[in-house]
Each structure stands twice: as structure tokens, then as C-alpha cells.
Homo-oligomer: A and B are copies of this chain.
Amino acid sequence: MLNLGGPQTTDDVGTYLERMFLDRELIPLPLQERMGKFIARRRTPKVQKRYEQIGGGSPIYAWTKRQGELMVQWLDRLSPETAPHKFYIAFRYADPTTADALQRMQADGVKRAVAFTQYPQWSCSTTGASLNELWRELLRLGLRDTFAWSVIDRWPTHDAFVAAMAKKVCEGLEQFAPDERQSVLLLFSAHSLPLSVIERGDAYPQEVAATVQAVMERLNFSNEFLLAYQSDIKPFKWLGPSTERVIRDLGARKRRNVLVVPIAFTSDHIETLHEIDIEYAELAHEVGIVNFKRAPALNDDPLFIRALAEIAAEHLGGGRLHSSQYKLRCPGCENAMCRTLLNPAPDALLRRAGRPAAAVYPDAASHHA
């Protein structure tokens, strides 16, 4: 289970930020080593204070562990032929790291592994960075041939995920008085990306937008909605509209009721618990939004757990090593190691070969003959 991770205690914030700012695949800096360490050190006290305000650390490890435990229970039932299933957590910037996960897998004698991104939508800055770290660490640790791999690299419009998201929106709406619900604006918010990443051809904005559309279709377009992007860091130009600016504008427009829906992350983390619940809530209050709420994160919602298990089961039974998009490097990519797949799992390929050959074009044509 790949994710960015978060510091479990305020003491871990320094290491966490340092790993983040040393990652060229996330934040390319001139003189990466020196600049990265400098920025990380300078930001640490400020970020520590934020983690203090949300209880002293990030809950992402606890949530991911619970998601993993519940997911494999379901998965053993959905896919008994591949059971027993185990989960390992590999965080990109926090413990347990990718190396931790790989070493535990080796100790447990694992042979077949699925790299399962916990980011619903692809971005080279998130899933891409996690996977590149995985392939690098496998080589560094001499484990190139130890595990046979396949990859779940994205699931932006998977039905079960969309259903779980729609449920969370409904739960969010229940925080408003019944006679106000119809007038609530749904403000979908995803982490932003530098425009340079967008211009390179990153799939993220397309896939985030697709999730939003699927959730709204599921809700039968019950409410007005907007998609905005949060957490940009100066001085780069980031993809907009910015969630912060949208909140200001909605206040100026005298909008009473706003429900923020985090759409690109599946657990509570600093961006929901601090940025939305504390910073944006304060801002919303200042600009006159009367009821400013947030939809709960997916966390351990049973529908979401089932979605994770279904996505994994479909992957295991689907005869594919990865999505049809995984091997397509961004047109502007300059990172030659992107879209690697070391030691691909032969069972995934075998299963595919055992099926009737997919007759994609005739099939597609018959839909609209």
C-alpha cells in the first residue's frame, strides 16, 4: 500500500520534511541536497506546530494499517484462489518506508506482490514517485528477483470508490439543517500541482475531474459543485483555481453553506485536519460563510474498505500487469526511470493468455452499431 505517509509524532516532522524536499521527483530544486535540507529545516518548527494542533502527529499510519487489515479480510473472501493475502505499508516520506516494507516482505517469504497505490488518481508526483522509489529500493537492496510484481496504478472512477465517496458527501450534507441542504455548495478540493507538472502532461487533473464527475453523477447532481486545488507552495505557479481563493470569493458572493470534499486522498491527514478544518474554516468564518463543513475522509468506511478489496480482487483476476496508461510516460518527461516494472508477475500474464483474446475494436463498435 503506497502512500506519502506522515510524521507519527512531532519529533518525526524534521525527517519527514527532509525526505520530501530531497525528492527530486516531487520538488525539483537547484542544489537539491543543500537547498532541500535547508528548506526542510526552516519549515520544521512551523509544521510541527500544525501537527501539535491536530493531536501531535499524522493519523495516516493508523488509518492505512486499519484499511489494510480490513481489506485483506474481504480480499480473502473475494479472491480465495489467491489467498492468503497480506498487506505491507510503504510510505514515501515517513516510516514505514519502502525499504522497511520490502525487508518485511522478504522475511515473510512473500513471492507475489502487487504495488497498490493509495492515491485514487495518478500523478507522477504521488504514485509515480512512490513507484520509482520502489524500483530503486528493490535494486539497492538486491531484491530484484525476489518478488513478482504487478501494479494497481490508478482507480479514479472505480464504481465502489465512487459509491463510497458519494456516501461521504451525503454524510457531509447531513451536517447541515435539512432545509439548507439543497443550497449547499460542494467544493471538491484536491492537492494542487505546479503548472510545470501539468504542462509536462501529468494525468492528474484529468483523472481528478473524472472522479468529481462520477461522484456527481452518482449523486444525481443533487447540489451545485466546484473543483479547486489546495496547498500550493510559493514561489511556483500552481494549478488553479485555488481552494483558498474560491473560499474568499464564495464569501464575497454571500454563499451561506459550503461543504468541502477532499477528493484525491483517502485518509485524514494534515491537509484535511489542519488546512481545511482549521485554516480554511477560519478564513470561511472571516469572509462570512455561515456554515462551512467538511465531508468525512474515507478512512475505515466499510464501503471504502470493500472498494479497496474489490479493486485488488479485480486486479488479481484481471490478467493485467497494470492499467493501460501506466506505460505511457508523460510527453514532457525527462525521468528515464518512470514507468518501470521490475520482474513482472508471470501469473498475471498467464491468466491473460488463458482468456479469450480481447476483441476490443469490434466490441467497442458493437456498443453503437
Contacts from A to B (Cβ < 8 Å): 156-157, 163-164, 166-167, 170, 173, 181, 185, 195, 198-201, 203, 205-210, 212-214, 217-228, 240-242, 245-246, 249-250, 253, 303, 323-325, 327-329, 331-332, 358, 360-361, 363-365, 367-368
A204–B185 CA distance with the chains assembled, in angstroms: 18
In chain B, what residue has the closest Cβ to A246?
A: B331
On chain B, the residues within 8 Å of A173 by CB distance are: 361
Residues of B within 8 A of A225 (CB): 325
CB nearest neighbor in B for A324 = B221
| Given A185-B328, A222-B324, A253-B331, 7 further pairs, Cβ under 8 A | A166-B368, A181-B361, A199-B245, A205-B209, A206-B227, A221-B323, A241-B331
Q: A198: which of B214, B241, B331 is its contact (CB, 8 Å)?
A: B241
Docked Cα-Cα span, A114 to B247, in Å, equals 33
> Whole-angstrom distance between the alpha carbons of A319 and B222 in the complex?
15
Per assembly, the copies of the chain total 2
- Given the complex of chains A and B, what is the CA–CA distance between A51 and B97 in angstroms? 59
Also in contact, A170 and B249, with CB within 8 A (given A206-B227, A224-B325): no
The reply to whether A199 and B361 form a contact with Cβ atoms under 8 Å apart is no
Complex interface: chain B residues within 8 A of A224 (CB): 324-325, 327-328
- Across the interface, which residues of B come within 8 angstroms of A210, CB to CB? 209-210, 212-213
* CB of A357, distance to nearest CB on chain B (Å): 11
CB closest residue in chain B, given A251:
B331
Known contacts A224-B324, A325-B224; is A245 also within 8 Å of B364 by CB? no
Q: Determine the distance from Cα of A67 to Cα of B207 in the docked complex, in whole angstroms.
A: 32
21 intermolecular pairs with C-beta atoms under 8 Å apart: A166-B364, A166-B367, A166-B368, A167-B365, A170-B364, A170-B365, A198-B240, A199-B245, A201-B228, A203-B226, A206-B209, A206-B227, A207-B213, A221-B325, A222-B324, A222-B364, A241-B331, A245-B331, A249-B332, A253-B329, A303-B368
A163's partner among B185, B207, B223, B368 (CB-CB below 8 A) is B368
**Top 6 A-B pairs, shortest CB-CB distance:** A209-B209, A210-B213, A249-B331, A199-B240, A206-B209, A222-B360
Contacts of A207 in B (CB 8 A): 209, 213
| Alpha-carbon separation in the docked complex, A222 to B325 (Å) | 10
